[in-house]
């Protein structure tokens, strides 16, 4: 007669030799004088109690006494509340796929993530629940790798969007695997779509002129005040390199004289960037949305405000006949012009608010390869080579002024630098020194005139 634990569905063990759990003990074998095989639960989880029961069963079988009463009911030494589950006892209901998604989304909201990030997971959850309901699948454990591959194959978005959705799906499975709701992360076995990287294209000089010129047409339908507000928004995007979310929530306390000092919402990195005089004048001329922000009332959500400014820019691009445009191209224009003017990637990383210079290299690799090594490592030589190619817009501001910020405006306020950590403050001081050095090269070559910006168009 063998004694073993019979593991339940909720137990992490599956073999008889594993006894480090609370599953009930069973007996399996033959008793003397009884040819019938006996396989029955002892209704106990304590090993010493189970061995004592087995000894009594074997002893009473030898003497001819009945032993079935020993397994009929649980022993008094093991109360009902402390007894583990055994065959015939009610089992807890398994957690459903819908409840798992609700718990996962609640955890995302507790982490205070950006609203757009939470909404991406919400849309993925709705899509997965519809797919599971169509196949009559209620539990996450019922979705195997083949079913998950079918769900992944139904995505019709572009390669980059599918890759981002796959990251959300992997995060969901990672959350469930840590809580033992599934045994493994099946999403890791899904192969992401191949992405063909496209070069980051900035606005050309002609496109920028058309965008600024289309503000007059925009004023005819939206009003002069709204057109002036949109003009200031465009100039801030173009000459600060801010993401649209950071530009929308730009507040007066982030503007110190002619310089912007803030931490980006995406990475939390400090950004220090001088603004040209036309952009500052445009900001001062427009009526503020409220006492604190330039472009946001503060009453709506930031996500809603960003959507409204995206619609206004879309209308402006349509009037200017500039196809394939979006707000982030202003940031690309800002970065590419700085690279072509000789700014080092390490300094550009600070201006853009990137957490690592590798991110800057990845997005602007095509433009850094264009520049020769001596131009990249000699700011003054690069400035002299590109000072004649400065892009002069209708606002009358030249790109070399945006690059160096003018030597008098290059130094960051000490109260801002003191509020940063040592590493960030060192980067700000290094950038200020580099801006002052490049300003000297700007002033020496500012009288050489202007030529066509052929390098940027290539």
Pair of tokens at residue 22: 């609370």
| Cα 320 to Cα 214: distance, rounded to the nearest angstrom | 5
pLDDT at 112: 83
Identify the pLDDT of residue 70. 57
| DSSP letter for each residue of 84-144 | PP-TTS--PPPPPHHHHHHHHHHHHHHTT--HHHHHHHHHHHHHHHHHHHHTT--SGGG--
What pLDDT does 298 receive? 85
Whether residue 59 is found in the same domain as residue 157: no
Residue 391 in contact with residue 337, Cβ under 8 Å? yes
- pTM, two decimal places: 0.59
Mark whether 108 and 230 lie in a shared domain.
no
- Answer whether residue 84 is part of any domain: no
* Model pLDDT, residue 448: 40
Q: State CA 271 to chain mean position distance.
A: 20
Does 76 reside within a domain?
no
Task: Note whether residue 89 is domain-resident.
Answer: no
Residue where a domain terminates, one of 71, 87, 113: 71
Structural domain includes residue 80: no
Q: How many domains does the chain have?
A: 3
Residues 66 and 108 in one domain: no
Q: In whole angstroms, give the CA distance from residue 249 to residue 77.
A: 67
Q: What is the model's pLDDT at position 376?
A: 43
Q: How far apart are CA 30 and CA 145, in angstroms?
A: 43
Place of tokens 């004649």: 388
HSE value, Cβ hemisphere, 13 Å, CA-based, for 29: 12
Residue owning tokens 């008793």: 31
Of 71, 88, 123, which one is at a domain's C-terminal end? 71
Residues 6+ apart with CB under 8 A from 381: 342, 374, 375
Tell me the residue range of the domain where 355 lies: 205-457
- pLDDT the model gives residue 107: 93
Query: Does 432 share its domain with 370?
Result: yes
**Residue 333 CA: distances (Å) to CA of 51, 148, 186, 402:** 79, 41, 41, 12
Cβ 376 vs Cβ 369: under 8 Å: no
Contacts of 306 (CB under 8 A, 6+ apart): 244, 245, 248
In a domain, 387, yes or no: yes
Measured distance CA(311)–CA(317) in Å, rounded: 10
314 shares a domain with 244: yes
For every one of its 458 residues, what pLDDT tens digit does the chain have, with 9 covering 90 and above? 788 888 877 777 777 777 777 788 888 888 777 777 788 788 788 777 788 788 777 776 665 555 665 554 444 444 444 444 444 445 566 789 999 999 999 999 998 888 888 999 999 999 999 999 999 988 898 899 999 999 999 999 988 899 999 999 999 999 999 998 888 899 999 998 888 777 668 898 899 999 999 999 999 988 888 999 999 999 999 998 898 998 898 888 888 888 888 888 777 778 878 888 888 888 888 877 678 888 988 888 888 899 999 999 999 999 999 888 889 999 999 888 888 887 888 888 888 888 888 888 878 877 765 554 444 444 444 434 333 333 334 333 333 333 333 333 334 444 444 444 555 455 545 554 544 444 444 444 434 433 433 333 34
Let me know whether 293 and 415 are in one domain. yes
Indicate whether 61 belongs to any domain: yes
Secondary structure of residue 168 in the 3-state scheme: helix
| Residue 78 located in a structural domain | no
Quick one: pLDDT at residue 309? 93
Q: Write down the residue that tokens 């929308």 correspond to.
A: 248
Closest CA to 209 of 395, 454, 452, 449: 395
Q: State whether 45 and 161 are in the same domain.
A: no
Do residues 377 and 425 both lie within one domain?
Answer: yes
In CATH, what number is assigned to the domain containing residue 166? 1.10.150.130
Residue 131 falls within a domain, yes or no? yes
Contact between residue 142 and residue 133 where contact means Cβ atoms under 8 Å apart? no
Boundary residue ending a domain (189, 222, 252): 189
Q: Are residues 446 and 307 in the same domain?
A: yes
Q: Could you tell me if 238 and 350 lie in one domain?
A: yes
Same structural domain for residues 172 and 241? no
Q: What is the spatial distance between Cα 438 and Cα 245, in angstroms, rounded to a whole number?
A: 30
165 with 117, same domain: the answer is: yes
CATH number of the domain encompassing residue 225: 1.10.443.10
């Amino acid at each position: 007669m063998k004694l073993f634990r019979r593991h339940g569905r909720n137990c992490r063990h599956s073999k008889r030799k594993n006894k480090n759990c609370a599953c009930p003990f069973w007996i399996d074998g033959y008793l003397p004088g009884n040819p019938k095989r006996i396989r029955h639960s002892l209704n106990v989880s304590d090993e010493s109690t189970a061995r004592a029961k087995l000894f009594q069963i074997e002893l009473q079988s030898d003497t001819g006494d009945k032993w079935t009463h020993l397994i009929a009911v649980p022993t008094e030494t093991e109360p009902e509340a402390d007894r583990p589950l055994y065959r015939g006892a009610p089992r807890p209901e398994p957690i459903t796929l819908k409840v798992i998604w609700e718990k996962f989304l609640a955890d995302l909201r507790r982490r205070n993530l950006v609203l757009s990030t939470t909404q991406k997971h919400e849309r993925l959850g709705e899509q997965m629940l519809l797919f599971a309901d169509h196949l009559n699948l209620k539990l996450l454990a019922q979705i195997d790798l083949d079913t998950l591959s079918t769900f992944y194959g139904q995505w019709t978005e572009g390669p980059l969007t599918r890759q981002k959705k796959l990251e959300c799906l992997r995060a969901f499975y990672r959350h469930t695997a840590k809580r033992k709701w599934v045994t493994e992360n099946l999403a890791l076995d899904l192969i992401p779509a191949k992405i063909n990287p496209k070069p980051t294209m900035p606005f050309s000089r002609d496109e920028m002129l058309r965008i600024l010129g289309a503000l007059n047409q925009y004023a005819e339908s939206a009003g002069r005040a709204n057109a002036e507000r949109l003009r200031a928004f465009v100039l801030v995007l173009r000459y600060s390199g801010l993401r649209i979310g950071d530009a929308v929530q730009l507040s007066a306390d982030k503007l110190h004289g002619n310089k912007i000092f803030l931490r980006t919402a995406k990475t939390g990195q400090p950004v220090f960037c001088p603004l040209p005089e036309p952009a500052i004048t445009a900001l001062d001329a427009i009526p503020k949305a409220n006492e604190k922000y330039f472009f946001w009332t503060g009453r709506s959500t930031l996500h809603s405000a960003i959507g409204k400014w995206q619609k206004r820019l879309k209308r402006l691009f349509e009037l200017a006949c500039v196809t394939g445009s979006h707000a982030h191209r202003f940031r690309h224009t800002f970065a590419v012009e700085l690279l072509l003017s000789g700014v080092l990637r390490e300094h550009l990383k600070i201006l853009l608010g990137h957490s690592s210079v590798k991110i800057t290299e990845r997005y602007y690799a095509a433009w850094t390869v264009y520049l020769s090594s001596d131009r990249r490592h000699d700011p003054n030589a690069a400035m002299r080579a590109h000072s004649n190619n400065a892009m002069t817009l209708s606002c009358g501001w030249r790109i070399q002024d945006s690059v160096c910020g003018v030597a008098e405006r290059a130094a960051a306020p000490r109260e801002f630098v003191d509020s940063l950590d040592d590493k960030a403050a060192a980067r700000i001081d290094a950038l200020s020194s580099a801006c002052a050095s490049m300003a000297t090269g700007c002033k020496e070559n500012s009288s050489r005139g202007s030529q066509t910006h052929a390098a940027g168009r290539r």
